[in-house]
Structure 1
């Protein structure tokens, strides 16, 4: 019988490559799991040391990290890297250090004194073991470090699979990380082709994935083979909703800052704006004024490139699709996209229709769809007609209106009167719902997600059992009937 190599040498080569990748990662996972079993519950002091070393890893190397990220992008604004990758990252670790002692404390729980007098209940947070992270390219340091820090806080070891679009950064981190933390505590893997597929097949104790919904489904399916729990932070079409009574100039300023940041390549970015029909033209004018003043040219070092040619081509295809279906495209600065630098100016797409790509897919770039409405019911119906978004951004001073949108529209998170910033709040959980993901990290909820919240029942010296054991006659029968009646009264 012919072998695979005889039938198709290229298939045989790819199978051998996959086996080699899987074997290499399995060896590393086994090493980390052995280290976990030797010391399964690090002390508060050990966890704080690991967190401080993680912070030093980034803090000592900000310049080289920033340069590596920019090389991966083609060009990434240095100041956007400072804002997105460094400033919030240090603060999130500091917040964990501040709260970790209280998070680690066993929690006393109530007990049914009638059935279990003098007994006690406790929930003990314990490390899961080895956590696998699949980190995207758009905010590779912030996302990796915030998740590593959460896993470290819970006492775990971490293996990180970085994106194929973060190769310069990954190689740098692979070089730097062992200088700060042992490799059986933290290790970074470079995506060299096929790594991600095999990574999600490993029997981690938890996988945290950040990326597209399509890939998230594949990760979840692979993890299910090992019954590995997953936290999925996906994306979706996150709306900004402007109350007609809200200051349009202020809304425009805050939404435009978010939309131009990282050239719109943010999973929680404003995907589209819902503005009252009577104010659409004025809103576009206000946004145009802000862009002309703050982002007059995409050739500036302050403006970031699309991550790769595929992302740039996707923006061009989205514009062409909208144009072919009759949408109006407004380019406030008048600059054409630059294929050499892969930079695309912020543009508005209005008069869209259901068949357009921009109506059906997350944009993930500097294109902003404008949707008009007449009443809050229109807003609720429109947003609820699609998948539940990762974020929602109501702009209103009317608390009742904000509460209405929060009550009637489900999303992963909410920022009121701004965009993106709920993700930067250290004490708020972050995660999606439905099509935008599941589970949380950040804050106490993230610590709990990366822990086994282990229930412990401690029986007392005295127990009711001797009064409840067979034979069920006489007084025992009466006790059972009394307890049944009392319980269901």
Structure 2
């Protein structure tokens, strides 16, 4: 398949080919689905070095270790899980009928939807293209994938690898600019999953609505970390910094800001600086720290920091290195006293800036979180059960990790998805299988049944049966 598709007509041709293939085989066997998953796993593992080189070239510097840990290992684990459990996921599941419908029986039968559209972002292009693809293939679907124009080498290589691994009628990759992305989202898919910004997510949902295409949107937002009054403070800071610096903070579930007990702001900064020295020694030459993906995104980081400083905030560099526009290396910085009206405090940061916000009581921290749009992730550090339960019950977020950051996305039994402004729907594991399936309810009625008792003419027998039904 060509990667420089000229327009909507070429996209429609691929969609039509996949629809026709689906109509010929609307319910693939588990053996065929498992074969696709194994082929996908083999392709990814065999070309890990090439994918790492492409990502490194696209970013300017992207750690191969991060690719292995945060992308390839995660998708391999998810493929392995689907291979272990997928045959069981396919089985019809009995449901209760209620006493008055007996002797009828009921089942829910998982059925492939057809063709799934996947829009992958630039920050984790392999993970966020392949993750939904795993669920789509396990559920028996065909898939079209739109890669980000900000990682063109990765998109080109991924298109080649998918083209060698699958027939175009099974899985196809599309590359192109924003106009191609808009045409892609306007296609009448059977399901469309988009990972990206809330702003673009609104446009995707609007385009999908024209076709009544159901959507899963993974949108991010300002994910808070709360250092509770009973937290292991140094452990909390270390975990927050590990989550914030992975991929230089270019992670949809990265801690966006941190709430700390008032008076501990400077202690947080000092511990964070010591943590950075351990994680990324010789920072300027350290290959483990990823650079910012583009000049525009680098300029945005600098603008966020400069504007906050001009409004009275204090920017605390956590490394002796300075931001370097030529390499797009932006060292992490903590920010204190940032005004609420600054862009830093109301835009998703998506980079290595970390505002620190003090609070007086855990009630204040909960109110602060709840006064803002619901985030994709919330991180709580505390060892008191009552505090943990309060935060879990009194805040709403896409997911939560307690005394940890980021690893909730690696838990194969947990769904991943947002809520409100941070997204719609969820996937991963069985939840991904369900998202990309029609869980079709079916009632089976035997030859001998009680239906004739409820048919007109509605005489004494009917009313006697109704009195009995209302009594129980």
User: Who is 2:20 aligned against?
Assistant: 34
CA distance in 2, matches of 1:314, 1:299: 23
CA drift at 1:271: 0.3
User: Who is 2:365 aligned against?
Assistant: 379
Deviations 1:441-484 (A, max 9, x none): 1011111111000011111111222222222122223223332x
User: Who is 1:243 aligned against?
Assistant: 228
CA distance in 2, matches of 1:244, 1:112: 49
CA distance in 1, matches of 2:121, 2:300: 18
From 331, 336, 342, give the equivalent of 1:356.
342
User: Does the CA-based 8 Å contact 2:5-2:176 persist in structure 1?
Assistant: no
CA distance in 2, matches of 1:117, 1:248: 59
Determine helix, strand or coil for the equivalent of 2:89: helix
From 112, 133, 143, give the equivalent of 1:148.
133
Residue 279 of structure 2 is aligned to residue 287 of structure 1 = no
Determine helix, strand or coil for the equivalent of 2:231: coil
Residue 53 of structure 2 is aligned to residue 90 of structure 1 = no
Gaps of 5+ in 1: 1-17
Residue 410 of structure 2 is aligned to residue 394 of structure 1 = no
User: Who is 1:14 aligned against?
Assistant: none
1:392-431 map, 5 Å? 392-431=378-417
CA drift at 1:246: 1.8
1:87-126 map, 5 Å? 87-114=73-100, 116-126=101-111
Residue 31 of structure 2 is aligned to residue 45 of structure 1 = yes
CA distance in 2, matches of 1:320, 1:398: 38
Determine helix, strand or coil for the equivalent of 1:355: coil
CA distance in 2, matches of 1:233, 1:348: 26
User: Does the CA-based 8 Å contact 1:248-1:286 persist in structure 2?
Assistant: no
User: Who is 1:366 aligned against?
Assistant: 352
User: Does the CA-based 8 Å contact 2:377-2:399 persist in structure 1?
Assistant: yes
User: Does the CA-based 8 Å contact 2:265-2:336 persist in structure 1?
Assistant: no
The number of equivalent residue pairs is: 468
1:190-229 map, 5 Å? 190-229=175-214
CA drift at 1:19: 11
CA drift at 1:293: 2.7
Determine helix, strand or coil for the equivalent of 1:158: strand
From 299, 303, 323, give the equivalent of 2:289.
303
CA drift at 1:144: 1.1
From 80, 85, 100, give the equivalent of 2:66.
80
CA distance in 2, matches of 1:227, 1:155: 21
User: Does the CA-based 8 Å contact 1:244-1:279 persist in structure 2?
Assistant: no
Determine helix, strand or coil for the equivalent of 1:348: strand
User: Does the CA-based 8 Å contact 1:273-1:371 persist in structure 2?
Assistant: yes
CA distance in 2, matches of 1:254, 1:64: 31
User: Does the CA-based 8 Å contact 2:417-2:424 persist in structure 1?
Assistant: yes
After superposition, the Cα gap between the structure-2 partners of 1:102 and 1:76, relative to the gap in structure 1 and judged at 3 Å, is same
CA distance in 1, matches of 2:201, 2:186: 13
Determine helix, strand or coil for the equivalent of 1:164: coil
User: Who is 1:273 aligned against?
Assistant: 258
Bigger CA drift: 178-187 or 35-44? Answer: 178-187
CA drift at 1:88: 1.6
Gaps of 5+ in 2: none
From 99, 121, 125, give the equivalent of 1:136.
121
TM-score, with length taken from structure 2: 0.97
From 428, 431, 439, give the equivalent of 1:453.
439
TM-score, with length taken from structure 1: 0.94
After superposition, the Cα gap between the structure-2 partners of 1:479 and 1:443, relative to the gap in structure 1 and judged at 3 Å, is same
Residue 324 of structure 2 is aligned to residue 342 of structure 1 = no
Bigger CA drift: 100-109 or 168-177? Answer: 168-177
From 29, 35, 56, give the equivalent of 1:70.
56
Determine helix, strand or coil for the equivalent of 2:150: helix
After superposition, the Cα gap between the structure-2 partners of 1:245 and 1:482, relative to the gap in structure 1 and judged at 3 Å, is closer
CA distance in 2, matches of 1:20, 1:286: 52
RMSD: 1.4
Residue 245 of structure 2 is aligned to residue 252 of structure 1 = no
User: Who is 1:186 aligned against?
Assistant: 171
CA distance in 1, matches of 2:276, 2:156: 36
CA drift at 1:182: 1.2
User: Who is 1:15 aligned against?
Assistant: none
CA drift at 1:398: 1.3
Determine helix, strand or coil for the equivalent of 2:266: helix
CA distance in 1, matches of 2:319, 2:156: 38
User: Does the CA-based 8 Å contact 2:191-2:215 persist in structure 1?
Assistant: yes
Q: Which structure would you say has the larger Rg?
A: 1
CA distance in 1, matches of 2:236, 2:14: 49
CA drift at 1:180: 1.6
CA distance in 1, matches of 2:318, 2:458: 84
CA distance in 2, matches of 1:155, 1:396: 42
